[in-house]
Amino acid sequence: MASTFNTPAAPGDDGKGVSALERDTLLMHSSGRPGKIEIVPTKPLATQRDLSLAYSPGVAFPCLHIARDPSLAYDYTAKGNLVAVISNGTAVLGLGDLGALAGKPVMEGKAVLFKRFADVDSIDLEVDTRDVEEFIGAVRYLGPSFGGINLEDIKAPECFIIEQRLRELMPIPVFHDDQHGTAIISAAGLINALELTGREMSKVKVVVNGAGAAGIACIELAKSMGVRHENVILCDTKGVIFQGRTEGMNQWKSAHAVPTKARTLAEALDGADVFYGLSVKGAVTAEMVASMAPRPIIFAMANPDPEITPEEVKSVRADAIVATGRSDYPNQINNVLGFPYIFRGALDVRASTINDAMKIAAARAIAALAREDVPDEVDAAYSGRRLRYGPDYIIPVPFDPRLISSIPPAVAKAAMDSGVARKPIIDMGAYKRELAARLDPASASMEAITEAVKANPKRVVFAEGEEEKQIRAAVAFSNAGLGHPILIGREERIRATMKNIGLPAAESLEIINSRLSPRTAHYTEMLYQRMQRKGALLRDAQRLVNQERNIFGALMVQAGDADAMVTGLTRNYWQAFEEIQKVIDPKPGELMFGMTVFIAKGRVVFVADTTVMETPTPEHLADIAVQTAHKARQMGHEPRVAMISYSTFGNPSNDRAERVREAVEILDHRKVDFVYDGEMGADVALDPELLGHYPFCRLKEPANVLVMPGLYSATIGSKLLQKLGGASVIGPILVGMSKPVQITSMDASANDIVNMAVLACYDALK
């Protein structure tokens, strides 16, 4: 039977000769709210008072303050985080002169990338003129509206004139990304390619094919970084640009003409070390590559198809390092690695321009990041491909979350050092932490905890020490100065894994084989004392100590030979928890349960119990409320506790809701030091408007601690929120154990493991 569900056609799509990619793209752009951007207010506008503050009459006050001191516009308006993406559509992607209107989807996309990667607000402006003076006149008066101008898809040589004039006329950064973005990312790749091949900037011979905006910008930046003028040959469609050539020349090409006998690209490439391609598909042949110097560096960046494919290069030069502009090959020269973060840094110091020092700083920061170990989240975004510094990984990938805390600080510092910053950053460390928090709100919640752990480093057991993720987490934990990691496992296997994944031998790592440890006999006796009246023989305790790393690690912590422990990769949560309970008891007078922290839309919510207690009694619910409120305070949040039920204050009335009501009564008798109420639905607990329907409720603001009525609802709701709600998640955090132990999920990344180790250490401080 044929399906009755059909994919709707997008406007303008007649279905004839349309690829799946084209159809999907058209539907994506046309479905729901057309386009890719919208304007969202950042202040509440729910009441008449809100309107009076945001608009008339209250808005007059910031206007008057700005009139007296124009710099206050950065404090009272969005100017300081707002970039205009401006184009006339004369060089749209690789499509040519499509005009301003047809270029709008690209400009909207650029605005989305600003927001996605650097939390920079952006709006696209399409200027419908091909006249240089008209374009400059249309843009030059926009300075009061924006903190920066990103010029896009403007053809050469007009783009050179436009950018230069606007930089002279406007007191804010003006940046033509087609020129400088490509130049910066390719320069970062060049830094690492030269290092890998043992070359120096001042000695390499470079050939650039393509004398448009990007090609000339690449040459100029490379020369600023140390490549010698006489060692660069620029080619265009008519061949080599040599001194004395007159055909097809302009002032920008002439600036890079050199005395040479080469007249064709093939002749120029003979013996060359580096090739930059910013031209067209097929411009370079295998024979040309074969004529290059040993270990050639080939950046074939034509869009959408490179001058020569990596496969063609490797067929004649296995020693080559190759980069392209495509995401389906290693070493993608992608401008998104640059412009969002360059503007982020420039905006944050209120730079008057983006100069060469800032561009070079960005290139060096990008290059340095590629030499660091890559987080699991990045591997996952790239189909689990192991990304490791070398010929196939000289440039970070676009979804590396570390970009935002690496590039903007370098750009900001260069702006300050070169004298173009109008608001210098005093505490660069705090600035880096703030940047990380912009896109990962969980990092902000972890900040104070992490700093406390750094100040009081502890010995932490990574129980599943032979697992690659735990090894990488332990190395990262040590490198960050968080404490002393102890890996449980066989040393030869751990060292072999480290070698295979490209991690340097870390002297700070302690490796313990449970079978060989001199403490094994003592731990066996400890465990036997706990289990001998629970049906266990001495040999059972010996077997568990020798074979179960969770038990060995827990015994280390219980004996005081380590301060904390993290596990969970090779056992499901319940199995790991059961093993740890054989060794470690709850804190006297406390329950053991799981608490998960969700961060979304600027809010932090603690949810319990998400892992342990299937059907808590009213007393249990009250205990969970008290302990979770305490944890919330430890993490810097004043608790507002909602006792959650499907019933809200008796509606509907049911026996199951009675348990929650009794828990509230128990809290009443305990006279706790935090605000709480219930029973109530989760929607009421989190929505201030719904809370307003219950004026008697003790919660006057939305709850930030949700005590769930049972494990079923807690686990299902938490996992739904995690997978569908777009929230950042910390945990589940194990609460109530007498010794600090945390259990990760089996799919935890190395970064997740580090976070859980930090939380375990934080418990050890208490």
Cα atoms found within 13 Å of the Cα of residue 432, Cβ hemisphere only: 12
* Bond before 424 cis per omega within 30 degrees: no
Q: What is the mean pLDDT of each run of 10 residues along the chain (766 residues)?
A: 45 60 76 82 81 89 94 94 96 88 94 91 96 96 96 93 96 94 96 96 96 93 96 96 93 95 96 95 95 97 91 95 90 92 97 96 96 74 70 89 92 97 93 80 67 85 90 85 90 85 73 90 91 88 89 92 92 87 89 86 82 86 92 83 88 79 91 89 88 90 89 82 71 89 86 88 85
For the sheet with 239-240, list strands across it: 239-240, 232-236, 206-209, 274-277, 297-300, 321-324
| pLDDT score recorded for residue 2 | 39
For residues 330 and 357, the answer to whether their CB atoms sit within 8 Å is no
- 613 with 567, same domain: the answer is no
DSSP secondary structure code for residue 349 in this structure? T
Q: Which of 396, 739, 766 is nearest to 550 (CA)?
A: 739
- 283 with 319, same domain: the answer is yes
Task: Return d(Cα 552, Cα 562) in angstroms, integer.
Answer: 11
- 239 with 332, same domain: the answer is yes
Q: Does 181 belong to an annotated binding site?
A: no
Q: Does 95 belong to an annotated binding site?
A: yes
Instruction: Report if residue 10 sits inside a domain.
Output: no
Tokens read off for 305: 């198809």
- 688 with 572, same domain: the answer is no
For residues 667 and 652, the answer to whether their CB atoms sit within 8 Å is no
Q: Does 282 belong to an annotated binding site?
A: no
Q: Look up the CATH number of the domain holding residue 479.
A: 3.40.50.10950
For residues 733 and 627, the answer to whether their CB atoms sit within 8 Å is no
| pLDDT score recorded for residue 550 | 92
Q: Look up the CATH number of the domain holding residue 677.
A: 3.40.50.10750
Cα atoms found within 13 Å of the Cα of residue 408, Cβ hemisphere only: 32
Express the helix, strand and coil content of the chain in percent, nearest 5 each: 45, 15, 40
- 172 with 207, same domain: the answer is no
| pLDDT score recorded for residue 444 | 61
Q: Look up the CATH number of the domain holding residue 186.
A: 3.40.50.720
* Bond before 379 cis per omega within 30 degrees: no
Instruction: Report if residue 439 sits inside a domain.
Output: no
Cα atoms found within 13 Å of the Cα of residue 641, Cβ hemisphere only: 29
The DSSP result for 397-437, as a single string, is -TT-TTHHHHHHHHHHHHHHHTT--SS--S-HHHHHHHHHH
Instruction: Report if residue 385 sits inside a domain.
Output: yes
Residue 761: CB partners within 8 Å, gap ≥ 6?
A: 453, 456, 457, 458, 460, 482, 483, 563, 564, 740
Q: How many domains does the chain have?
A: 4
- 260 with 344, same domain: the answer is yes
- 576 with 605, same domain: the answer is no
Q: Does 94 belong to an annotated binding site?
A: yes
Q: Choose the final residue of a domain: 547, 582, 617.
A: 582
Q: What number of other Cβ atoms are within 10 A of residue 399's Cβ?
A: 14
- 601 with 463, same domain: the answer is no
Q: Does 152 belong to an annotated binding site?
A: yes
For residues 67 and 61, the answer to whether their CB atoms sit within 8 Å is no
Task: Return d(Cα 370, Cα 395) in angstroms, integer.
Answer: 5
Q: Which ranges constitute the DSSP H helices of 198-338?
A: 213-224, 251-254, 265-269, 286-290, 310-316
Q: Does 97 belong to an annotated binding site?
A: yes
- 291 with 346, same domain: the answer is yes
pTM of the model: 0.73
| pLDDT score recorded for residue 727 | 67
Instruction: Report if residue 668 sits inside a domain.
Output: yes
Q: Which of 172, 169, 163, 165 is nearest to 352 (CA)?
A: 172
Task: Return d(Cα 319, Cα 363) in angstroms, integer.
Answer: 24
- 334 with 185, same domain: the answer is yes
Maximum alpha-carbon separation in the chain: 98
Q: Does 319 belong to an annotated binding site?
A: no
| pLDDT score recorded for residue 7 | 43
What's the start-to-end Cα distance of the chain, in Å?
65
Task: Return d(Cα 217, Cα 238) in angstroms, integer.
Answer: 19
Domain range enclosing 85: 48-179
Instruction: Report if residue 466 sits inside a domain.
Output: yes
Q: Choose the final residue of a domain: 549, 582, 615.
A: 582
Instruction: Report if residue 27 sits inside a domain.
Output: no
- 300 with 355, same domain: the answer is yes
| pLDDT score recorded for residue 231 | 97
**Which residue, chain included where needed, has tokens 């970009």?**
403
Q: Which H, E and C letters describe 5-63, residue by residue? A: CCCCCCCCCCCCCCCHHHHHHHHHHHCCCCCCCCCCCCCCCCCHHHHHHHCCCCCHHHH
Burial of 516 (0-12, 13-18, 19+ CB in 10 A): exposed
Task: Return d(Cα 636, Cα 727) in angstroms, integer.
Answer: 19
Going by DSSP bridges, is the β-strand pair 705-707/640-644 parallel, antiparallel, or unpaired? parallel
**Which residue, chain included where needed, has tokens 């008072």?**
49
Q: Which helix (H) or strand (E) holds 208?
A: strand 206-209
Q: Choose the final residue of a domain: 548, 582, 616.
A: 582
- 557 with 408, same domain: the answer is no
For residues 394 and 370, the answer to whether their CB atoms sit within 8 Å is yes
Tokens read off for 22: 């084209």
* Catalytic residue chosen out of the listed positions 110, 205, 253, 359: 110
Instruction: Report if residue 750 sits inside a domain.
Output: no
Dihedral (Cα; 84, 85, 86, 87), 10-degree rounding: -170
Instruction: Report if residue 430 sits inside a domain.
Output: no
Q: Does 313 belong to an annotated binding site?
A: no
CA 365 to chain centre: 16
Residue 281 appears among annotated catalytic residues: no
**Which residue, chain included where needed, has tokens 């969202």?**
40
Task: Return d(Cα 512, Cα 489) in angstroms, integer.
Answer: 6
Q: Is the C-alpha dihedral spanning 158, 161, 162, 164 positive or negative?
A: positive
